Amino acid sequence: MNITLSKSLTATWVLGVLLSANVLAKAPQTPDQIPILPASAEALRGSAYGDFGRSWQNAPHNTTIYQQISRAFPTAVVWRGNGEVSHFEYNKQDLSKITFTNLKGQQETFQHHLDRTFNDGLLIIKDGKIITEEYHNGMKPHTRHHLMSASKSLTSTLFSTFVEDGSVELDKTIATYVPEAKGTAWEDVKVSDVLNMTSNVQYREEFDNPDAEVWAHESAVGWRNVAQGKPSTNREFLYSMNKMDKTDGKFHYRSSETDMLGQIMENVSGIGSAELFSQRIWSKLGAEEDAQCMVDREGACVVMGGFGTTLRDLGRWGQMLANGGKFNGLQIISQDWVNKVSTGDHEKFEHYTGMLPKGAYSAQFWIADNERNITSALGYAGQQVYIDRDINLVIVRLSTWDKPDYSYATDSYRAMEAISNHFRK
């Protein structure tokens, strides 16, 4: 595998900019339009090696499907627990006219950016109080919106509890915790390399290349129809992977690494990831609603991109991080882990600085600004959580972009930075 890649090209892999030209367009919807599930989710999945641009993940289907995943795919419930709901106070403020310089060099208001990039829900929390809360495109406060790869950061917070209690050590090999990995490409890979996506296991997140591993991966977890003779479960896919011919040891975005973290946690505990997330994270937040996780054909939670939550509940998770791991009167994850996911090795991030010039990647989190320790979760088509701990700011955005456009992600981060700068004055 050739790993010498331009910064902008590699960054686009993350969000699938290199899709076929056949991605369907969709018109903006008004808030009172209620999405209706297409007649056949199976038809949306299509051939495992067909036109990726016409899948359920893309326009015009994604606005509908992302808000109704449990009607289209098998999901596991992430129970909220039986505790009281932790309520937010409100201090409404109008931030819509805050401006930033977009990629085209133009001044753009925050509101205009949201309108042109298919925003479904927006939540801004300052000092623990909600200052902005909006729902669009049929989304409601009780709607569980699909998070795609923002799920990776939720998985990180769960994984932190295994590191904290000593049941997983980052300098051990994968085979230490997953005996099935012996004899596979994962056998001698360190847990820390999987956590930071710096392993030497080959995974190409190339959506324009049907031979890339991401296609077989999505087929294996049930996001696309299974190709005959190919892996039909997540585990089968992971154990079928190969080593890279060479690696530079730097961060390369690979969804397979997150699912291997899921394998570690399930092997160590003997409990499925959806239940683990409920026990260790979700039930402690005082969430209003159960969360959910898409599962593969074995019923295993697809932790690399399968979680779905409501807007406010995702805000509770983000506020927990802003509080140094504390929320609802509990220390849910360690302060050390929050520190870990707030800064990273910028030199290892060199292939992705086109999107985040001051960025880094650490333990399944995108560091939006490594100099100011601003961390974030990021998902395909615009699911984002932006956390500026210095000023106790949390921004949650749930979107279904009409196209997985690299420029949307960059401009979204610039818009959030403008909000951050507004409160840092």
The predicted pLDDT at position 3 comes to 35
The Cα 91–Cα 96 span in angstroms is 15
Question: What is the set of domains in the chain, with CATH numbers?
Answer: 7-424 (3.40.710.10)
Which has the closest alpha carbon to 219: 211, 156, 37, 70? 211
**pTM, entire model:** 0.93
The predicted pLDDT at position 1 comes to 35
Burial class of residue 165 in the structure, from the number of CB atoms within 10 Å of its CB (0-12 exposed, 13-18 middle, 19+ buried):
exposed
Residues facing 375 on adjacent strands = 367, 387
In the block, residue with structure tokens 């990995």: 181
Per-residue pLDDT tens digits of the chain, which is 425 residues long: 333 333 433 443 344 433 333 334 455 544 445 456 666 778 888 888 888 887 899 888 898 899 999 988 999 999 999 999 999 999 999 999 999 999 999 999 999 999 999 999 999 999 999 999 999 998 999 999 999 999 999 999 999 999 999 999 999 999 999 999 999 999 999 999 999 999 999 999 998 899 999 999 999 999 999 988 899 999 999 999 999 988 899 999 999 999 999 999 999 999 999 999 999 999 999 999 999 999 999 999 999 999 999 999 999 999 999 999 999 999 999 999 999 999 999 999 999 999 999 999 999 999 999 999 999 999 999 999 999 999 999 999 999 998 877 799 999 999 999 999 999 98
Query: Would you state the structure tokens that stand for residue 381, as one six-digit string?
Result: 């088509």
Q: Are 301 and 76 in contact (CB under 8 A)?
A: yes
Helix (H) or strand (E) holding 269: helix 255-269
SS3 content of the chain, % helix, strand, coil (to 5): 35, 15, 50
Tell me the residue type at 187: E
The predicted pLDDT at position 10 comes to 40
The predicted pLDDT at position 246 comes to 87
**Size of the chain, expressed as the number of residues it contains:** 425
The predicted pLDDT at position 332 comes to 98
The Cα 225–Cα 39 span in angstroms is 17
